[in-house]
Structure 1
């Protein structure tokens, strides 16, 4: 029997409020800031998992692809239309990482803080 419950998925970043705003535009939800300061921001996604963003001074984004240092973590975001979703995330500040093969059902991007994520029409 499980003895713990997943509370949130937390992404370290240089600007928690800005990164929470990026993901709020992509997946929806409500951005909630910590009343004690701006080092922690929650994104409450209706019917989904909470994403949290924590200030990390000196944040260095992961490298993708990097066979000698794997990305370790990424988000898969399900979308109905890859092309439309791609246009939207690029307009919001995402960077394409692996989008050349347009026949695949997924494409890889980096969010504005450099975390890899995939748009998936799977």
Structure 2
């Protein structure tokens, strides 16, 4: 028997509304804001939350002295189309050189690493 249920994954960031807007454009869904906290509920009912962190220092990938701490894997039908979409929204490629893999690594506008993964 489980002790708890996962409520949401929470991302610290300097601007919760902006970062939640980025992920709402990428994943779809609805946003609810309460001060320095924003909830994103995706169309399939999953939750991401974003909270203000005034001293936020973005992780670096790959960097053992500034660990990424976690990352999101986002599945997509077409890597090239998805890449164009996230770049247009402000994502930055972190390893654009290797096109032979079934995933590509990016940073969101606040610097959190995430992967687009082919289904």
Could you state the TM-score of these two structures normalised by the residue count of structure 2?
Answer: 0.96
Pair 1:54-2:34 in alignment = no
The size of the alignment, in residue pairs, is 119
Q: 1:17, 1:68 → 2: CA distance?
A: 28
Contact between 1:12 and 1:56, CA under 8 Å: does it hold in 2? yes
The equivalent position to 1:111 in structure 2, one of 102, 108, 112, is 108
- Return the offset for 1:114: 0.2
Could you list the runs of 5+ residues in structure 1 that have no partner in the other structure? none
Alignment partner, residue 30 of structure 1: 30
Contact between 1:109 and 1:117, CA under 8 Å: does it hold in 2? yes
- Return the offset for 1:94: 0.2
- Secondary structure of the residue aligned to 1:88 is helix
Pair 1:17-2:17 in alignment = yes
- Return the offset for 1:65: 0.5
Pair 1:6-2:15 in alignment = no
Could you state the TM-score of these two structures normalised by the residue count of structure 1?
Answer: 0.93
Q: 2:75, 2:12 → 1: CA distance?
A: 22
Q: Which runs of 4+ in 1 moved over 4 A?
A: none
